[in-house]
Amino acid sequence: MDLKIAVLPGDGIGPEISEQGVAVMTAVCEKFGHNVTYEYALCGAAAIDAVGDPFPEDTYQKCMAADAVLFSSVGDPKFDNDPTAKVRPEQGLLAMRKKLGLFANIRPVETFECLIHQSPLKEELVRGADFICIRELTGGMYFGEKYQDDEKAYDTNAYTRPEIERILKVAFEYARRRRKHLTVVDKANVLASSRLWRQIAKEMAPQYPDVETDYMFVDNAAMRMIQDPRFFDVMVTENTFGDILTDEGSCITGSMGLLPSASTGEHTPVFEPIHGSWPQAKGLNIANPLAQILSVAMLFEYFDLKEEGAMIRKAVNASLDAHVRTPEIQVEGGAKYGTKEVGQWIVDYIKKA
């Protein structure tokens, strides 16, 4: 198979983890006989510094011409600490989602047996937790009509039937491929937009008779994720709720450095770690590359290259079991491994497998 990948390293630790993701992808392609080419492009603060735009036209064109995008992170303190900044790195991420039509964000929440002790939850609660959060990504308050003056501000949480139907279709189909349980998360007791979500979900559910569909208010869902995370299989919700719940879910594993994600929709899919740019760690060779590497596994699986994805997951698990880990998840007294060393260990494992 021929694969053309747009690589967007972005800011902070992005270039360091991106390098490891590309190395792993190259190793897998060599092993399985695929041809892969890479096109690098700017985004975020790096793009603002270079051309004044967090998602330049050149980057957009490279993304559209690619089969998939391997993205890392955006964000820089010099913008975070300047409330007057008109252009911000995160605007590049929103622009990418909007221009590529990436309406579905897929975030797996999966525990690793050897790291369960690092979870903030009790082991008996978190062991075996394995679910997917599907977040609508291009609608709701983040993209709705906005207003602000010194006395009043509002953000409009608007959704249309086609927007809701297409994300629910993604969710039902994921549930059908997994344990056939879908939880629709909303706030239908208060919000009109949520009532439309629930109405449409109830209309669509009979089309998927093999899927058990239930409905949960977002506050209850947040509580249930802590009390009983194993209850969930596939969870679907709107943009703002999804932003909050997916971050909550990421903490269950004990490290945000372990969780990948995919954003899919109308055009080129994007695969990225869920963590941010962690600018304080830039250049220190301490950032965990596993979420980026597992994003590569999701990329292969998106193209139905299941063996390739499984090979990466096997290599990641082997590295964890061998205590080849970056500092934040290393066992007490374990050897010191940095970003590069962990990535290289996984590449070597794949080549020898």
Q: Give catalytic residues, as residue numbers.
A: 142, 187, 219, 243, 247
Q: Closest Cα to residue 210, out of 249, 178, 243, 166?
A: 178
Q: What is the pLDDT of residue 116?
A: 86
Share of the chain above pLDDT 90, in %: 82
Of 168-182, 245-259, 323-337, the range with the highest mean pLDDT is: 168-182
Mean predicted confidence (pLDDT) in 252-265: 87
* Tens digit of each residue's pLDDT (9 = 90 or more) over 192-236: 999 999 999 999 999 999 999 999 999 999 999 999 999 999 999
Q: Is the pLDDT of residue 81 over 80?
A: no
Q: Is the pLDDT of residue 256 over 90?
A: no
Cα(342)–Cα(303) distance, integer angstroms: 26
- Tokens read off for 133: 């959060």
* Tens digit of each residue's pLDDT (9 = 90 or more) over 309-329: 999 999 999 999 999 999 988
Domain at 1-103+265-353, CATH from 3.40.50.300, 3.40.50.12370, 3.40.718.10, 2.130.10.10: 3.40.718.10
Residue type (1 letter), 277 = S
Residue type (1 letter), 187 = K
Mean predicted confidence (pLDDT) in 87-104: 92
* Tens digit of each residue's pLDDT (9 = 90 or more) over 173-192: 999 999 999 999 999 999 99
Q: Which of the pair, 114 or 144, is modelled with greater confidence?
A: 144
Cα(102)–Cα(219) distance, integer angstroms: 26
Give 252's DSSP letter.
T
DSSP code per residue over 96-150? HHHHTT--EEEEEEE--GGGGGGSSS-HHHHTT-EEEEEEE-SSGGGTS-EEE-S
* Tens digit of each residue's pLDDT (9 = 90 or more) over 115-141: 888 888 998 999 989 999 999 999 999
What is the band of 112 on the pLDDT scale with cuts at 50, 70, 90?
confident
Q: What is the pLDDT of residue 261?
A: 94
Q: What is the pLDDT of residue 247?
A: 86
Cα(316)–Cα(314) distance, integer angstroms: 6
* Tens digit of each residue's pLDDT (9 = 90 or more) over 4-52: 999 999 999 999 999 999 999 999 999 999 999 999 999 999 999 999 9
DSSP code per residue over 272-335? EESS---GGGTTSS-S--HHHHHHHHHHHHHTT-HHHHHHHHHHHHHHHHTT---GGGPPTTPP
What is the band of 253 on the pLDDT scale with cuts at 50, 70, 90?
confident
Cα(267)–Cα(61) distance, integer angstroms: 12
Q: What is the pLDDT of residue 78?
A: 86
Q: What is the pLDDT of residue 209?
A: 97
Cα(85)–Cα(57) distance, integer angstroms: 21
Mean predicted confidence (pLDDT) in 75-98: 86
**DSSP-derived 3-state class of residue 189:** coil
Q: Is the pLDDT of residue 94 over 90?
A: no
Whole-prediction pTM: 0.89
Cα(351)–Cα(353) distance, integer angstroms: 6
Question: Which position has the token pair 């009532």?
Answer: 195
- What Å distances lie between residue 38 and 19, 171, 269, 332, CA to CA? 12, 31, 15, 38
DSSP code per residue over 208-234? -TTSEEEEEEHHHHHHHHHH-GGG-SE
Longest dimension (CA), the chain: 64
Q: Is the pLDDT of residue 56 over 80?
A: yes
- Tokens read off for 21: 């993701």
CB distance 1 to 270 below 8 Å: no
Mean predicted confidence (pLDDT) in 252-277: 90
Q: Is the pLDDT of residue 252 over 90?
A: no
Q: Residue ranges of the alpha helices (H) in 33-107?
A: 44-51, 57-65, 77-80, 89-99
Strand 260-264 relative to strand 104-110: parallel, antiparallel, unpaired?
Answer: antiparallel
Q: Which fold has domain 109-255?
A: Isopropylmalate Dehydrogenase (3.40.718)
Mean predicted confidence (pLDDT) in 269-290: 94
CB distance 299 to 264 below 8 Å: no
Q: What is the mean pLDDT of the chain?
A: 94
Q: Is the pLDDT of residue 342 over 90?
A: yes
**Domain ranges (residues) in the chain:** 1-103+265-353, 109-255
Do 109-255 and 1-103+265-353 have the same topology in CATH?
Answer: yes
- Tokens read off for 308: 């390739």
